[in-house]
Every structure is written in C-alpha cells, then in structure tokens.
Amino acid sequence: MKNLKFIVVTTRSGGFPSAGLLLITGCISLIMMFSCSENRYPDPLTVEEALQSFHLHEDFEIEIFASEPHVVDPVEMVFDENGNIYVMEMSDYPFKDRDLSDEDVVGEVSQYPYHPDVLESGGRIRRLIDSTGDGRIDSSAVFAEGIREGTSILPWDGGLIITSAPDILYLKDTTGDLKADTREVLFTGFSTSNVQAQITSLRYSVDNWIYASNDGRPGEVTSGRDPEAPPVSINGADFRFRMDTGEFERATGVGRVGRTINDWGHRFMTAAVPHIRQAVIPDRYLRRHSHGRSQNAIKNINDHGLTMFQLTPAPYWRAERSARRQAQYDEAGLDRTEDVKGEFTGATGGTIYTGQSFPDEYYGNIFTGEHAGNLVHRDVVTKSEESPVYIASRHESEKDREFLASTDPWFRPTTFTVGPDGYLYVVDMYRQHTEHPIAIPEDLKENPDLDFTQGLEHGRIYRIVPKNERLDENSPANLKDMSLHQWVEMLSHPGQWWRLTAQRLLIERQDHSVIPDITALLTNHEDPRTRLHALYVLEGFDSLNEEIVRMAMEDEHPGVREHGMLLAERYPGLLSELLEGVTDPSIQVAFQATLSIGEFTGDEVTSTLAYVVEEYGHNTWFRTAVLSSESGSSIELFLNLHTRDFFQDEMSSWKRSLLEDLTFAVGSRAMSEEIHVLLDTIQMEFGPDEAWQMSGLDGLTDGLERHEDENPGLKEVLLKVNELESAENINEKIELLREIFSDSK
C-alpha cells in the first residue's frame, strides 16, 4: 500500500456525525480505495531483467534469441530445411468468436472479453531473421496472417502444415517472396470448443507418419485431398496422417500442447497435470475387434508425483479461488486439500532432447514447461526392465529444484525446439495471464488489473546452451542446397533434427536412385539410429521386401528389431520369424512381436500367444496386447490356456483378470457353439475350483449383457443368474445359460 497520512481529529457527542467524524470516514474510504486498487499483478520485465530472473542448472547458460517487436505471442517455432525460422504467433488467445459450449465450463456460462480487432487479425506465422549472424534475431517478416487459433506448424515440401481448428492447413509460397500465397485444407472436422485442447503439436516421426495431439475431443475428420475417404471419428483419441500416402487415422492419446517422439518412435504426451505420459499401445491394435472391455493405451510414467519447485507466488486470483474451494471442501467435511501452488497444473510442451550439443547425459531427457509455475522441468527417461514402458524421474541434482525456474510470473514457457545447432530453444508466450478466463470466478475478473490482453505485444524465445561449449558460428542450416547423396549422409548426423529433415526431404523427392546407398546404410552403418532411418526411407519409397525386413528383425539393436517386427506384419512369409520374436531378450521387442502376431490367425499364433501369457501374463500391457487381437480373445486361446499347468495353479489377480476378459469376449461374440464349449469346460475341466468357475462365468455374463436389448429372453436369464450369488449355485447358473442357447447349439 502507498504511504498515507492519518489525520487525527476530535469529535463532539451528539446524534449526528460531526465534521471530524465525516473526515475520518472519508479517510477510511480513501484508504480502502487505495487498498482495493493496489496492483495485485506485477508489471512485465524487460528482456534484460527477465534474463536476471532465471535460476538455471549450473551447467548451462540462457540467452535471448528473439523478443518483441520481432516476435509476439509465440507458441511454437520450427527450423525448415532452407534455414528459415518460423514462429506461430497466437495473438487471438484466449479471445474467440465462437460460442461457448457446455463442455467448456462447469456451472454458469458467461461471456469473456471480446476483442474484435484481435479476432479480425487472428494469429500470424512470422519468419525470424538474423541478418548479422550473431545468433540473435534482429528483424522479422510475416509469412501468413489471419490464422484463427493457430497452435502448431511443421515444414513439409517447401511449405508449412498448420493446426488451426477445425482444420489442418497447408500453406506455401509459390512465388519466392517468402509469403504464403496458397492455402489448402488438408483435414477438417476437429473440435473448436476448447481453445486449450484443440488439435495441435504436429510431429514428424521416423515411421513417416505425422502425429498431432487432440486431447480426445470429438470430431469426424475428413480429408480435403481425398473427399471420398470415409470420415474418421477421433473421439477419445489423438490423430495421425501421412502426407506421402494420404492415409489418416486415430492415434493413441490423449495429449494437449506437447508431444514428443524419441529416436525409436516411442511417443510421449503432455497434459496440464500429468506432465508426462507414454503412448504404449497404438490405437489401431485396440480396434481390431469390438469384443473387449475398455482398455487403457497410455501410461503416466512420472515416478515423482506432482511436486514442482516454483519460485513465483501464486497469482491473486488463484490464491483467492483456492481459498474458496478449500472452504467448500471443509464445509462439506471432505478430506481434500486445494493446493494454491507447488504442484503441476499447467504443464505444456514436453520435448525430448535429441541434439548434438548438450553433454551426453542429457540426450533423451524430456523438458516440459509449466505455465502456472513459470518454470521448465526436466525428466530423465529410462526404459523399464520389467515392462514395455519408460520411467520418468528427476535427476539427482534436481530433487529440490527445477532445471530452470523464474521469479518472473510473466514467464510462460509454452513449447520447445531442439535446433539444428543442438541447442534447446524455449518459446515464451510472455503474458500476464495464460489461464483461460472461463476458469476464473467472475468477481475476480472484475479487478481492472487482471487484463487478459496484457502481454499481447510481448514475446520471447530463449536459447539454452552448455557453458564453455559454444559453436564457432551461427550460420543457418541449409539442406535444400545439398545433393541427394548429401541428404543420405545426413541420415547419420548425431542430431535428430538433421536425420529427420534429411529423411523427410528424401521421402518428398522420391528419387529412387539413392536406394543402393540407403540399403548400404541399413546393412553396414554402425549407428542403429541411422539404420532405422534407412529402413523407413526404403519404406517411404515403397521398396521394402521380406529380405530387408528380415534383416531388420535380426538387427543387433533392439530398437531396429522392434520396427522389424512391426513391418513384418506386411509379410505373411515372415510369420515364423515373428513368432520367434516373443522370445527376444528385449522386452520391448517381445512386446511389439506380441502385438504384430495378432494380425495373423492359426494354431501357431494361438499357441504362441498362450506362451506369451505364461511368460508375461503378470504384466497388464502384455495381457492387453494379447487380448487386442482376434486370436488373443478367442475360445481357442482359452482352451489352450486351461490345459497348461501354470494357468490352473494357485489363483492370482492377474489370472482372474485375464480369465474374465477372455470369457467376456466370448460372451460379447455371443456365438452359441463357443458358449457351450466354454460352459462345458468351466463345469467339467475346472471341477470343484470355484474361484475359476466364478471368474469365468462373471466374464461371460458381462459380455452377454451387450446383447440384452436384442434378446429379451437373455436379459431375463442374466437377471436370474446374477441373483444366484453363491458359489454353491454354479451348476444352476451354467444350466440357465446353457438353456438359453440350446436352440442354436
């Protein structure tokens, strides 16, 4: 509060206030006015001041790369093959002209500030220019503008792919003036209801697919290039597509802003609270049949909870909102604590470091921004030895601190880029507020100091570099001027940006004259990452064959073998090698082999899947992999398993779960012959083992419930079966079920 002088006066007794009392009252009002109008939200810092606000890991330095007026409201930055640097500027966040839908808010819907000027202009894609070569942007030019709620950009074939819900667009400069002059809708149908959870985070992977986060939002997506292609429902999923083949489909999700892919094609996603999750099972496997229970395909791999070490105080509105919520919990007698700060609530932009300039120990680490915490968190990601998932842990040096934290509450790290130079670039939207207005109580938004436009004219991009290990030059990377053979050489570059960019250019060019050179890399190169890139360049050339895929299946590195198993799905002649893959010493390879085997049928497949259950059935991901296939959810697998000693040993929770899931699938298929076989086996082969019998019947009846509406008689029988809860009534349950299916036996 500003300094105030208190005036002391005396008063007379009497029924009316004296002049002195009126003066006191006026002073109190004045004091309250000053108190209420006190700025509860700090002002922005200059770039130089912001740099002083950072607390960074001692091995690194942070420097400014770009700032206003050359960049404002940045949310993503990319380097293209020509050395151009493009930034998506989201100046229209959080204002939009679409109506709020019910899913946007809980409770009363209110209109938040409407800014027609912002809406009219929308966002921009800006090209950043370093004309002096000193490593700092000194000018910029607009490549495209008028982009509503643009969130992500990705270079492709001389242009840029853009996410701008409800569309994915393709913009290109065809005249050479470095301004977009063509606009194509590649895909449309994405949700526009929640600006914080729209289609975003375009990422090109080694498998030649482009992945995007969709947060599981509903939508029926259609292709602009192939209007005859059937729409794809993406409710509950993310999205992926190929520019070279035109394919598009659901992808395992869900993620928000932040999707990153490691050297081996394993995908990790960011959401506001679970800051790092892994996509463990591709969506296409879980959709091979419709007779399974709902299965999870993603895993929160964080082993250290939600704690973050924030250096900024919680903003006034958040502290006040949390206090109100806590009061409601206390009044309701709930044992619940509303944390005002110190836990992840605004995680964004998780990016794996795959560059060549940081110390080796940082390769594969994932860096995630935290909008609410004004910090950058680092996860050391390692493979589990017991499961086909990774584990994300804090580094020992960061048990009580973050990799980077600021004392400036305007610091809003949104996304990251690993540049051609191997340095880590931090894209800072730099706003007073990035929380969406609908999340803030109405009365708190009435404070004139809370202004969602504060920062529209700001934006910073920082570069993090190792101390004493600077590059000698800052010349831009330019692969476009290289020859085809130089692109092939770049597949062995230590930095992933170079390898992936070279692969993309080769796929775009489709010049098959380099196939001998690519094949030589696959055969002879010592770096398994290079061998994997070579494998998928051949895939993108449609030049794979059994011999090449077999070579990948036998590679000395598990990452290449894993993709060999995946690609073997295309070649029935490789089934025997694929069946052997479940015995691979790498659990990740064995896992992929299990998934891929499910693309085939036959006694050998069923027997191999039974072996997988025996070896790995205790692991939920392997069980899901088995059950995802037709063979793995069949009556034949059930019969194979029940003859194996391990399956009839002591009951365990995982065996019970598997048995119920298997018999659920039989019930869901509702094929009379299979049901009679199952009932006979449960009754006779399991004998007096009531635990087995009850689990088998529970799964069967749950699956049969899917058909109650189409078969009233079945519904009545299931009601009777469920009323017989005691294990002593097992035979009666079986006879009731047998009778309802007797006519079609």
* C-alpha distances out from residue 664 to 167, 292, 297, 527, 699, Å: 39, 7, 19, 46, 4
- Closest C-alpha to 186, from 237, 226, 231: 226
Question: Which residues pair with residue 63 across a beta bridge?
Answer: 463
Count the Cβ atoms, other than its own, within 10 Å of residue 409.
23
pLDDT at position 688, please?
Answer: 55
Q: Is the Cβ–Cβ distance between 70 and 138 less than 8 Å? A: yes
pLDDT over 60 (residue 55): yes
492: left (phi over 0), alpha (psi -120 to 50) or beta: alpha
Q: How many CA atoms lie within 13 A of 517 on its CB side?
A: 14
How sure is the predictor about 19, in pLDDT bands with cuts at 50, 70 and 90? very low
pLDDT tens across 513-525, in order?
A: 999 999 999 999 9
How sure is the predictor about 726, in pLDDT bands with cuts at 50, 70 and 90? low
Q: Give the Cα separation of 71 and 124 in Å (integer).
A: 10
pLDDT at position 341, please?
Answer: 72
- The mean pLDDT value for 162-168 works out to 96
pLDDT tens across 524-535, in order?
A: 999 999 999 999
pLDDT at position 286, please?
Answer: 96
How sure is the predictor about 184, in pLDDT bands with cuts at 50, 70 and 90? very high
Q: Give the Cα separation of 596 and 585 in Å (integer).
A: 17
pLDDT at position 602, please?
Answer: 96
- The mean pLDDT value for 593-600 works out to 98
Query: Among 262-266, 367-371, 465-469, where is mean pLDDT lowest?
Result: 465-469
Q: Is the Cβ–Cβ distance between 276 and 238 less than 8 Å? A: no
**Residue 6: Cβ-neighbour burial (10 angstroms; 0-12, 13-18, 19+):** exposed
pLDDT at position 122, please?
Answer: 75
Largest Cα separation within the chain, whole Å, is 107
Q: Is the Cβ–Cβ distance between 419 and 497 less than 8 Å? A: yes
pLDDT tens across 85-126, in order?
A: 999 999 887 765 443 333 432 223 333 333 444 445 578 999
- Closest C-alpha to 219, from 248, 262, 184: 248
- Give the containing element (helix H, strand E) for 268: strand 267-269
- The mean pLDDT value for 499-524 works out to 98
Q: Is the Cβ–Cβ distance between 168 and 111 less than 8 Å? A: no
Q: Give the Cα separation of 73 and 431 in Å (integer).
A: 8
At CB < 8 A and 24+ separation, what contacts does 517-520 make? 517/485, 517/488, 518/488, 518/491, 519/548
Radius of gyration of the chain, Cα coordinates, nearest whole angstrom: 30
pLDDT tens across 237-283, in order?
A: 999 999 999 999 999 988 989 999 999 999 999 998 999 999 999 99
Distance, C-alpha 12 to centroid of its chain: 72
- Percent of the chain scored above 70 by pLDDT? 87
- Percent of the chain scored above 90 by pLDDT? 68
pLDDT tens across 192-224, in order?
A: 987 788 999 999 999 999 999 999 999 999 999
pLDDT at position 44, please?
Answer: 94
Q: Is the Cβ–Cβ distance between 512 and 541 less than 8 Å? A: yes
Q: Is the Cβ–Cβ distance between 402 and 57 less than 8 Å? A: no
- The mean pLDDT value for 371-388 works out to 95
**Pairing between strand 375-383 and 54-56?**
unpaired
Q: Is the Cβ–Cβ distance between 131 and 139 less than 8 Å? A: yes
Question: Which residues pair with residue 261 across a beta bridge?
Answer: 267
The first and second tokens of residue 623, run together, are 């069980």
Which residues in 135-245 belong to E strands, given as ranges?
139-147, 150-156, 159-164, 167-172, 182-188, 200-204, 210-213, 220-223, 232-233, 238-241
pLDDT tens across 401-424, in order?
A: 999 999 999 999 999 999 999 999
pLDDT at position 92, please?
Answer: 83
Q: Is the Cβ–Cβ distance between 220 and 233 less than 8 Å? A: yes
- Closest C-alpha to 137, from 72, 200, 64, 77: 64
Contacts with 688 (C-beta within 8 Å, 6 or more apart), sequence order: none
pLDDT at position 196, please?
Answer: 80
- Closest C-alpha to 529, from 702, 354, 677: 354
Q: Give the Cα separation of 711 and 25 in Å (integer).
A: 79
Q: What mean pLDDT is reported for the chain?
A: 88
The dihedrals phi and psi of 727, each to the nearest 5 degrees, come to: -65, -20
- The mean pLDDT value for 701-709 works out to 91
- The mean pLDDT value for 592-611 works out to 98
pLDDT at position 436, please?
Answer: 67
Of 24-28, 231-235, 435-439, 467-471, where does the model show the most confidence?
231-235
pLDDT over 90 (residue 337): no
Distance, C-alpha 461 to centroid of its chain: 23
- The mean pLDDT value for 628-634 works out to 97
Q: Is the Cβ–Cβ distance between 637 and 662 less than 8 Å? A: yes
How sure is the predictor about 333, in pLDDT bands with cuts at 50, 70 and 90? confident
Contacts with 331 (C-beta within 8 Å, 6 or more apart), sequence order: none
How sure is the predictor about 330, in pLDDT bands with cuts at 50, 70 and 90? confident
Q: Is the Cβ–Cβ distance between 214 and 253 less than 8 Å? A: yes
pLDDT over 90 (residue 342): no
Q: Give the Cα separation of 88 and 152 in Å (integer).
A: 7
Q: Give the Cα separation of 223 and 216 in Å (integer).
A: 19
Q: Is the Cβ–Cβ distance between 163 and 202 less than 8 Å? A: yes
How sure is the predictor about 355, in pLDDT bands with cuts at 50, 70 and 90? very high
Torsion angle (degrees, nearest 10) of CA 581, 584, 586, 590? 40
Q: Give the Cα separation of 351 and 210 in Å (integer).
A: 16
How sure is the predictor about 12, in pLDDT bands with cuts at 50, 70 and 90? very low
pLDDT at position 452, please?
Answer: 72
Q: Which amino acid is at 580?
A: E
Sign for the pseudo-dihedral over CA of 142, 143, 145, 148:
negative
Q: Give the Cα separation of 599 and 628 in Å (integer).
A: 10
Q: Is the Cβ–Cβ distance between 234 and 250 less than 8 Å? A: yes
pLDDT over 50 (residue 33): no
Q: Is the Cβ–Cβ distance between 79 and 85 less than 8 Å? A: yes
Q: What is the DSSP string of 41-100?
A: SPPPPPHHHHHHTEEE-TTEEEEEEEETTS--SEEEEEE-TTS-EEEEE-TT-S--SSPP
Q: Is the Cβ–Cβ distance between 622 and 612 less than 8 Å? A: yes
- Closest C-alpha to 401, from 378, 424, 368: 378
The dihedrals phi and psi of 211, each to the nearest 5 degrees, come to: -105, 150
- We find that the CATH architecture of domain 60-100+109-308+343-438+450-466 is 6 Propeller (2.120)
Q: Give the Cα separation of 401 and 406 in Å (integer).
A: 11
pLDDT over 90 (residue 472): no
Q: What is the DSSP string of 438-460?
A: GGS-HHHHTSTT--TTTTTT--E
Contacts with 77 (C-beta within 8 Å, 6 or more apart), sequence order: 85, 86, 87, 88, 128, 415, 417, 425, 427, 461
Q: Which amino acid is at 271?
A: A
